Amino acid sequence: MYRDRAYRSPAGLVGGVLLLGLFGWLGGDAVVSGEGRTPWLALASMLVAVPLVVAFSVRPAVFANDDRLRVRNPFRVIELPWASVVSLRSGYTNEVIDESGAKYQLWAIPVSLRGRKKAARHQAREAHRAAKAGGGGRTAPDGRPVRAETDQVMADLRELCEARAKAAGSQGEPSVRWAWEIVGPAVAGAVLLLVLIAVG
């Protein structure tokens, strides 16, 4: 058994860190320099905004090992033993479907239509070269089809699922839990913000 492979969206991480820095700068300035209710409004707003930014940018991740797939989405954590996974599907979003028919979007592995178009152009060029040379070929140098990065990740996860679905360690029921560490502060901040606005 190998350690978890972790999959994240680099663009989401960078965007999230930049937004958190911006909120920290503007919110911190309002708390320190603001007058009257301004510091309290700034604190309440940050209490709402920061967990939401973390939830949708920094938090999402997919972890895979020999036994299970763990999906950390903005507000939930889903653990799926490989035996419970029916399908890993790619369309306009990437999602996993369990044996009960429940669908879970993989926020950390977003579909890149631009990446697919780039891979298709690359395949077309290679096919044209191969046709001129008298051979076939729409594969990468390692022999695998050329795919967009996230499509390749999904293909790797499908292979792992197929290889491990019948293993003893991969049996069990899916589990889903709410991310109260995100939901709690965001709800508390929203309530505080509404109270401050109402009494103002």
Q: Does residue 127 form part of some domain?
A: no
Q: Does residue 126 form part of some domain?
A: no
**Under 8 Å between Cβ of 86 and 168:** no
pLDDT, tens digit (0-9, with 9 covering 90-100), for 93-140: 999 999 999 999 999 998 876 656 665 666 666 666 766 776 554 455
Q: Does residue 147 form part of some domain?
A: no
Short-list 45, 28, 71, 11, CA closest to 190:
45
**Under 8 Å between Cβ of 167 and 65:** no
Can you give the residue range of the structural domain that contains 78?
Answer: 5-109+169-199
Q: Does residue 39 form part of some domain?
A: yes
**H or E stretch at 18:** helix 10-33
Q: Does residue 120 form part of some domain?
A: no
pLDDT tens track, the chain, 200 positions:
457 899 999 999 999 999 999 999 999 999 899 888 899 999 999 999 999 999 999 999 999 999 999 999 999 999 999 999 999 998 889 999 999 999 999 999 988 766 566 656 666 666 667 667 765 544 555 555 666 688 889 999 999 999 999 999 999 999 999 999 999 999 999 999 999 998 86
Q: Does residue 22 form part of some domain?
A: yes
Short-list 93, 88, 95, 67, CA closest to 79:
67
Short-list 186, 182, 184, 194, CA closest to 40:
194
Phi, psi of 73 (to 5 degrees): -95, 175
Q: Side chain identity at 195, as an amino acid letter?
A: V
Phi, psi of 103 (to 5 degrees): -110, 135
**Under 8 Å between Cβ of 78 and 65:** no
| Total domains in the fold of the chain | 1
Q: Does residue 163 form part of some domain?
A: no
Q: Is the pTM of this model over 0.85?
A: no
Q: Does residue 75 form part of some domain?
A: yes
The CA–CA distances, whole Å, from 163 to 55, 96, 124 equal 32, 16, 31
The CA–CA distances, whole Å, from 57 to 80, 94, 177 equal 22, 16, 19
**Under 8 Å between Cβ of 59 and 74:** yes
